[in-house]
Amino acid sequence: MKAFTTLRSLNGATLIESLVVLSILSLLLHIALFEYKPLLATNRLESNMQTVKRALQFTRLKAQTNDAYVTFCALKHNRCNKAIWHKSLTVFVDRGVLGVFESGDTKLMEIEAISKFDMLTYQRRAVTFSPAGMPMGLGNGTFIYCPEYSKASLKGLAIRVSPIGRVRLIDTDRCQTDN
């Protein structure tokens, strides 16, 4: 009888024990994955907004150092378009018509599009900084980034461009809707 229990202990776990362990493990993974998705969205939000903020600061700096007009916008058919801020963004020295990327203009930087689940908006078609480092015309305003915008469950971030050209990152509740 003693030899039988020794052999039994060397054989490993039974099928029922394995199923119980797998079901507990799958339950824990499901809970962890459910909590992980908002964490990824928040990380994506912060990373992308820091990139946009740096691009705006870069645009202002290049306008001042190059003594030229420099534009930051989303281009569609070489024209700045306010409906597609969530697509790729371009910084260029704007030597001709403001807001139009022409043959005499120089591309300085391009930022890739954000996640298809997120939305970046701005009320104007471009931000163009003058050689003095100030936004042209009504270039001041607020960029709003909403992670997982179709669900509107997470808070967003905003970048405010001041009339003198400074940019500031702030929290916003404008992404959430009252259902």
Higher local confidence (pLDDT), 43 or 2: 43
pLDDT band, residue 6 (cuts 50/70/90) = low
Higher local confidence (pLDDT), 41 or 11: 41
- In degrees rounded to 5, what are phi and psi of residue 167? -115, 140
Kindly report, residue by residue over 134-170, the tens digit of the pLDDT: 998 766 789 999 887 666 567 888 999 988 888 998 8
Higher local confidence (pLDDT), 28 or 77: 77
Query: Residue 177's pLDDT is what?
Result: 56
CA proximity to 91, closest of 120, 119, 41, 51: 51
- Is 0.85 topped by the overall pTM? no
Q: Is 136 exposed, middle or buried (0-12, 13-18, 19+ CB in 10 A)?
A: middle
Biggest CA–CA distance in the chain, Å, is 95
Angle at 58 between CA 117 and CA 148, to 5 degrees: 10
Angle at 157 between CA 77 and CA 118, to 5 degrees: 50
Query: Residue 179's pLDDT is what?
Result: 40
Query: Residue 151's pLDDT is what?
Result: 67
Kindly report, residue by residue over 24-52, the tens digit of the pLDDT: 999 888 877 777 777 787 888 889 999 99
Kindly report, residue by residue over 97-139, the tens digit of the pLDDT: 999 999 989 999 999 998 888 889 998 999 999 999 999 876 6
